[in-house]
Amino acid sequence: MELFDLFFYIFASVIVISGAVTVLNKNLIYAAFALLILLSSVAAMFFILGAEFLAMVQILIYVGGVLILIVFGIMLTGQVKSVPMRENFVYLLIAAVFTGLLCGLLVTGITARPDMTLTADIASTPIKMLGNLLIGKYYLIFGMLGVLLLVILIAAAGMARNNKE
């Protein structure tokens, strides 16, 4: 067992456990804390797989942006400590069925194309190549995403403005 494997399994188990805590805990703040651990372990996973840029963006956007936003949202909600959850057997069954379907889909999707899975031994991302790809080959997608973000930004500014009636 290599050091890589050790860290991989540690982070994988942390991801699974903290994900479960995020979903199952009734205290919203605990759920947010578990989400923090979850997101940072995903970033750590990217790190040990050699995708540094992705890891950094993961931390910067999810931990620095989304999680903070969620916590601010939690601070504005009334009921934080015990959120009523649907614990009926029927709901659990539905959730289990859909989770199983999704899991099966992912597993078959990944194992069906073994040529698509890469070995873990990737050199660190050459950031210049990434930039060239974004501006060159994937320019259309990049530009469309930029326009989408701009639209969202304008919409958010419009919604945040006070309506003078």
Partner 1 sequence: MTTIFNVWDFLLILLYAIIPLAYIIPFALMAVYAERKISAWIQNRVGPNRTGPIGLFQTTADILKLMQKEDIVANGADKKLFLLAPIVVFIGSYAAYAALPFSSVYIGTNINLGVLYMVAISCFVVAGIIFAGWASDNKYSIMGSLRSAAQLVSYEIPTLFVIISIFAITQQFNLRELSEMQTSNILNWGIFGFDGLGYKRILLIPVLFVLMIILFISTLAEVNRTPFDLPEAESELVAGFHTEYSGMKFALFSYLNMQICLLFQGWSLRFSLVDISHHLVTSVICLDCHGLFQ
What residue ranges bind partner 1 (CB under 8 A)? 1-3, 5-6, 29-30, 32-33, 36, 40, 52-53, 56-57, 59-60, 63-65, 67-68, 71-72, 75, 124-127
Cα torsion 155, 65, 134, 53 to 10°: value is: 180
Of the pair 5, 111, the CB lying nearest partner 1 is at 5
Of the pair 15, 55, the CB lying nearest partner 1 is at 55
Alpha helices, DSSP H, located in the chain: 3-24, 28-48, 52-57, 68-76, 89-112, 127-135, 139-160
Of the pair 19, 27, the CB lying nearest partner 1 is at 27
Least distance (Å) between residue 58 CB and partner 1: 8
Distance, in Å, from the CA atom of 50 to the CA atom of 40, rounded to the nearest integer, reads 15
Distance, in Å, from the CA atom of 139 to the CA atom of 141, rounded to the nearest integer, reads 6
Least distance (Å) between residue 96 CB and partner 1: 29
Q: Which helix (H) or strand (E) holds 75?
A: helix 68-76
Of the pair 17, 52, the CB lying nearest partner 1 is at 52
Least distance (Å) between residue 113 CB and partner 1: 23
Least distance (Å) between residue 31 CB and partner 1: 12
User: Using alpha carbons only, what angle is made at residue 114 by residues 124 and 42, rounded to the nearest 5 degrees?
Assistant: 45
